[in-house]
Amino acid sequence: MQLQMKKGALFRAASLFNHHQRIFGIPHNYPFGLAPYCKDTTANAPLYESKLPLSTGRPRLVCLGTGWGGARLLHDIDPKLYDITVISMRNHMVFTPLLSSTCVGTLEPQAVAVHITDIQPALFKPQNHVLISEAIAVCSKARQVEAVSDGIHFKVPYDKLVISTGSQGSTFGIPGVLEHTHFLRDLHQAEAIRSKLVDNISKAGIPGRPTQEKQTLLDIVIVGGGPTGLLL
């Protein structure tokens, strides 16, 4: 699958999909699992189409995900060559190397997020779309992506498909990690960590709090000693 890029580079999508393959990523309801396999539950879902008469007749490019991969593609692509639809669970790209700094207040969340329309302003054009939703399956036979948002299932047709939905964090089988920790890949997770830290420090400062309880509140375990864990 080749796409024409502004700089003439050729882009090879991560995977070519068989009929009804599931999409790997980090769906909302499955924080570190896989999206459910798509059976034909959305067979009658409406086909998403622009209501404006502005399908230009250009090939329809659908990009799944607005992380590093998707954002780079959307930045570099020549929007005159395609009608572009972005399907992503977030409307922004996160500058992950600085994400851990937002957990401890060194940076504010908005300092590490860039809205996808700032990265590719042509997404404002009426023939292009940004759909904040979870892609749940690709049907390569019908050339459609199935997605869901707020319980509403819909399908988006494509001529070219880019799958840049990222990967899942690994626990390396460490017991308790899945159940008891905050993961750190996205802004809302960084905010959850920050608010937990502030909460615990405030609770520990209450006069009369038994020392053992204070200790428990202030004990923080970081799983993973790479750059992110060390920065934290």
Ligand X SMILES: Cc1cc2nc3c(=O)[nH]c(=O)nc-3n(C[C@H](O)[C@H](O)[C@H](O)COP(=O)(O)OP(=O)(O)OC[C@H]3O[C@@H](n4cnc5c(N)ncnc54)[C@H](O)[C@@H]3O)c2cc1C
Rounded CA Rg of the chain: 21
Site for ligand X in 150-179 (CB under 6 A): 164-166
Distance, CA of 120 to CA of 122 (rounded, Å)? 5
Residue 172 DSSP code = T
Least distance in angstroms from the C-beta of 8 to ligand X = 22
Site for ligand X in 199-218 (CB under 6 A): none
Q: Does 119 bind ligand X (CB under 6 A)?
A: no
Least distance in angstroms from the C-beta of 148 to ligand X = 9
Contact 219, 212 (CB under 8 A): no
Site for ligand X in 42-71 (CB under 6 A): 64-70
CB neighbour burial string for 22-58, b if at least 16 within 10 angstroms, e if fewer: ebebbbeeeeeeebeebeeebeeeeebeeeeeeeeee
Least distance in angstroms from the C-beta of 129 to ligand X = 14
What is residue 134's three-state secondary structure? strand
Angle between helices 187-204 and 211-218 (to 10 degrees): 160
Among 3, 23, 138, 193, binds ligand X (CB under 6 A): 23
Site for ligand X in 75-114 (CB under 6 A): 87-90, 96-97, 99-100
Residue nearest to ligand X (CB): 67
Residues that bind ligand X (CB under 6 A): 23, 25-27, 35, 64-70, 87-90, 96-97, 99-100, 134-135, 164-166, 184-185, 227-228
